[in-house]
Amino acid sequence: MIIEIPDETVKQSGLSDDGLKLRLAIQLFVEEKLTLAGASKLAGLHQIEFQKELARRKIPIHYDVNDFIKDLHTISEINLNDNCK
Cα(55)–Cα(43) distance, rounded to whole angstroms? 15
- What's 60's DSSP letter? P
Per-residue pLDDT band at 83 (split at 50, 70, 90): low
Per-residue pLDDT band at 3 (split at 50, 70, 90): confident
Per-residue pLDDT band at 25 (split at 50, 70, 90): very high
Please give the residue that has the higher pLDDT: either 64 or 21: 21
- What's 33's DSSP letter? S
- The beta strands (E) that lie in 1-85 are given as none
**How high does pLDDT run on average in the chain?**
90
Predicted pLDDT of residue 39:
96
Residue 64: CB partners within 8 Å, gap ≥ 6? none
Residue 20 region by backbone torsions, left for phi larger than 0, else alpha for psi between -120 and 50, else beta: alpha
